[in-house]
């Protein structure tokens, strides 16, 4: 390969927005494209070549067996990982690093080649989405203290495995927090019940019972009742009512309370 070809390859790599760094077996940088130099920070932009790669960036994988470059040089395979990296200008970025072994013409590993993507905005977007999902989940499964010793969890929409687990966590934590003796699971807003949904409900009621709390199932519509019978779903000893008011009356009875209408004077 002549010098013109080498220079051309260097120019091509310099125009790639992805950071490209080559290190020798001592982890000293022997090549860095423009993106890598810019990422290094203003204090090191003039003197990246010859620096150890862990001097340029600082993440939890540097100088450990989890370093992608270390792994690539050790076994000759490609390795990828995500990490938080602090650069010398004080900026923290989220990076996705992929490393491959650097070989000579005879196939001997002489170092490592690393490609680095700045995924900071992607990670921040993922974190915002996770926060929004958590908020929506909390709003969709609110365990409410209805009376002293009585809780209610109104459910609207579809119950899948993830939501059922969150419902169970919410109910059990609220039971522990309030020392409640009865919780009403109102499924009036659940359009349909299949075997999977019924199994989720059964597991939830069993878990609450282990906490010393009786679970009442309210809001069972005629169509849901027919579906449960047609599917042959065994609801066991779960107490059910058609309305929330009936469930509340039953809950008050369990804690030895009674609502007495106020007489007109």
Give me the domain span that covers residue 77.
3-120
Here the CATH number for the domain that contains residue 70 is 3.30.450.20
| 245 falls within a domain | yes
Same domain, 91 and 158: no
- Element housing 215 (H / E): strand 214-218
| 134 falls within a domain | no
Same domain, 201 and 170: yes
Answer whether 0.85 is exceeded by the pTM: no
Per-residue confidence band for 6, with pLDDT thresholds at 50, 70 and 90: very low
Same domain, 89 and 172: no
* Integer CA distances (angstroms), 38 to 15, 19, 57, 84, 257, in order: 12, 9, 12, 17, 72
Q: For the chain, what is the mean pLDDT? A: 81
Tokens of 223: 């169509």
Same domain, 110 and 187: no
For 199-246, the pLDDT digits (tens) are 888 888 889 999 999 999 998 888 778 887 887 877 777 888 888 889
| 262 falls within a domain | no
For 128-166, the pLDDT digits (tens) are 877 765 655 555 568 888 889 999 998 887 787 778 888
pLDDT, position 232: 81
For 85-124, the pLDDT digits (tens) are 665 455 677 888 899 999 988 999 999 999 888 888 888 8
| 220 falls within a domain | yes
| 127 falls within a domain | no
Q: Are strands 79-87 and 57-59 parallel, antiparallel or unpaired?
A: antiparallel
Same domain, 85 and 50: yes
| 126 falls within a domain | no
Which residues have CB under 8 Å from 44's CB, separation 6+?
51, 55, 56, 88
Same domain, 188 and 115: no
CB 93 within 8 A of CB 120: yes
Same domain, 70 and 168: no
């Amino acid at each position: 390969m002549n010098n013109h070809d080498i220079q051309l390859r260097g120019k091509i790599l310099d125009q790639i927005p992805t950071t490209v760094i080559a290190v020798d077996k001592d982890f000293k940088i022997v090549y860095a494209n423009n993106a890598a130099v810019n990422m290094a920070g203003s204090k090191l932009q003039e003197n990246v070549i010859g620096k150890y790669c862990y001097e340029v960036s600082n993440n939890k994988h540097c100088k450990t067996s989890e370093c992608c470059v270390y792994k690539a040089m050790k076994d000759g395979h490609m390795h990828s990982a995500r990490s938080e990296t602090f650069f010398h200008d004080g900026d923290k970025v989220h990076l996705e690093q992929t490393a491959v072994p650097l070989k000579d013409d005879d196939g001997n590993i002489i170092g490592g080649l690393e490609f680095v993507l700045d995924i900071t905005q992607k990670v921040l977007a993922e974190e915002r989405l996770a926060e929004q999902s958590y908020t929506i989940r909390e709003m969709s499964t609110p365990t409410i203290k209805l009376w002293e010793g009585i809780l209610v969890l109104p459910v609207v929409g579809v119950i899948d495995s993830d939501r059922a687990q969150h419902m169970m966590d919410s109910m059990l934590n609220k039971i522990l927090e309030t020392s409640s003796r009865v919780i009403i699971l109102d499924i009036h807003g659940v359009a349909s019940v299949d075997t999977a949904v019924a199994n989720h409900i059964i597991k939830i009621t069993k878990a609450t019972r282990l906490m010393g709390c009786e679970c009442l199932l309210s809001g069972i519509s005629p169509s849901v009742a027919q579906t449960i019978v047609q599917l042959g779903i065994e609801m066991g000893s779960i107490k059910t009512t058609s309305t929330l008011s009936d469930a509340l009356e039953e809950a008050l009875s369990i804690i030895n309370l009674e609502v007495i209408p106020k007489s007109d004077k």
